[in-house]
Amino acid sequence: MKLKTLSKWVAAAALVVTSASSFALEKVVYQLDWLPGGDKAPVYVGKAKGFFKDVGIDVDIAQGRGSTDAITKMAAGHSDIGSADIVALLAGKANNNVPVTGVMNLFSQAPYAFFSLEKTNINSVKDLIGKQVASSPFTSSNVFFPYMMKANGVEESQVEHIKANPGSLAPMMLNGRTDAITSWVTDTTTILNQAEKIGVKVNIMPWHTVGLNIYSSSIVASDKFLKERPEVAKKFIKALKKSIEYTWANPDEAGAIVHQLVPEVDGDVAAGTIKSIKELVFNPISEKTGLGVFDKDRLAETWRLTAIAQELPQDKLDPETAIDRSFLGE
């Protein structure tokens, strides 16, 4: 009798262990390409709303210091999947064949923009002739600056392009210490709030409105992660896509979620950022191809301009080898 009872207990315990393991969540490390903010909201929204948990995934979020840094960390196995500029990935593939692959597009429009005081009357790229433009030494927009000038009939030498600390760019422009700055559209809310406080108005000239038709911020993943855990990758991307849609359908809630999970981020500023960059994510391009899908022709154009900007041979890379559409699903 004791043996029968013991056997039942053992069987019951085994069942409990099996059930617990079957419900264990897969751990995934998501790599940001910069500090948390409204433009990074979807991964925080997915975590807070349980979208990742619903598909059996527990997400850890790691901060980054630029796209190259993010790609390097994924290539080294420190993180599994994350955000990075597809331009940085294409360059990394061409130069070093980094073991990282693009799986989903986020910004189907370039996020770069010229910001200037309204009173300077800089309304076109040609209006920058004879003016000073400041940018961060680390921004990927510097790669395309010469192309942007040439595409708009301006010689690069006709513009004084200087580099400055990222944190000083907006104050320099707002206080008239430089004529214009190059920054991301994601900084719009912060810059406009600063301008309002000192009573000045700002003009914003997004580069995608003056000739730069490329993909930018994307979801990329370690080849090791994609090879060893392909089903987890598919589930993660499915949940992230749901998070992206929810974020832009509910920007105020999404901003509050980012603040809740990262208290140093102002929720209102995060919400404002989400609203200000909606057209980078949802636009005629994404409507045509589907959210997140890399269009073959636009990807080819992105590589063409990347190669020109970085003085690389066009035939050094087939951009199709840098991405894998199969993880996005239908």
Q: According to the model, what pLDDT value does residue 76 have?
A: 95
Q: According to the model, what pLDDT value does residue 64 have?
A: 87
Residue 7 has pLDDT above 70, yes or no: no
How many Å apart are CA 85 and CA 277, to the nearest integer?
A: 15
Question: Token digits for 70?
Answer: 């993010």
Task: Calculate mean pLDDT across residues 240-263.
Answer: 98
Task: Calculate mean pLDDT across residues 104-129.
Answer: 96
54 HSE (CA, 13 A, CB side): 12
Task: Calculate mean pLDDT across residues 57-67.
Answer: 92
Residue 48 binned pLDDT confidence (cut-offs 50, 70, 90): very high
Task: Calculate mean pLDDT across residues 134-139.
Answer: 86
Q: According to the model, what pLDDT value does residue 273 have?
A: 94
Q: To the nearest 10°, the Cα dihedral for 274, 107, 129, 122?
A: -30
Of 143-157, 201-215, 240-254, give the range with the top mean pLDDT. Answer: 240-254
Q: Where are the domains of the chain?
A: 26-109+215-327, 112-209
- Classify the C-alpha dihedral 305-306-308-312 as positive or negative: negative
Q: According to the model, what pLDDT value does residue 19 have?
A: 40
Task: Calculate mean pLDDT across residues 217-222.
Answer: 97
pTM of the model: 0.86
Architecture of the structural domain at 112-209 = 3-Layer(aba) Sandwich (3.40)
- Classify the C-alpha dihedral 170-172-174-180 as positive or negative: negative
Are both 26-109+215-327 and 112-209 of the same fold?
yes
Task: Provide the mean pLDDT of the chain.
Answer: 91
Q: According to the model, what pLDDT value does residue 122 have?
A: 96
Q: How far is CA 153 from the centre of its chain?
A: 30
How many Å apart are CA 117 and CA 119, to the nearest integer?
A: 5
Residue 2 has pLDDT above 80, yes or no: no
Q: According to the model, what pLDDT value does residue 21 have?
A: 41
How many Å apart are CA 127 and CA 289, to the nearest integer?
A: 35
Say if residues 68 and 310 touch (Cβ distance below 8 Å): no
Q: According to the model, what pLDDT value does residue 66 have?
A: 83
Task: Calculate mean pLDDT across residues 318-329.
Answer: 95
Q: Which fold has domain 26-109+215-327?
A: D-Maltodextrin-Binding Protein; domain 2 (3.40.190)
How many Å apart are CA 4 and CA 23, to the nearest integer?
A: 29
181-194 per-position pLDDT tens digit: 999 998 999 999 99
Range in 20-29, 81-90, 212-221, 284-293 with the lowest mean pLDDT: 20-29
Task: Calculate mean pLDDT across residues 76-91.
Answer: 95
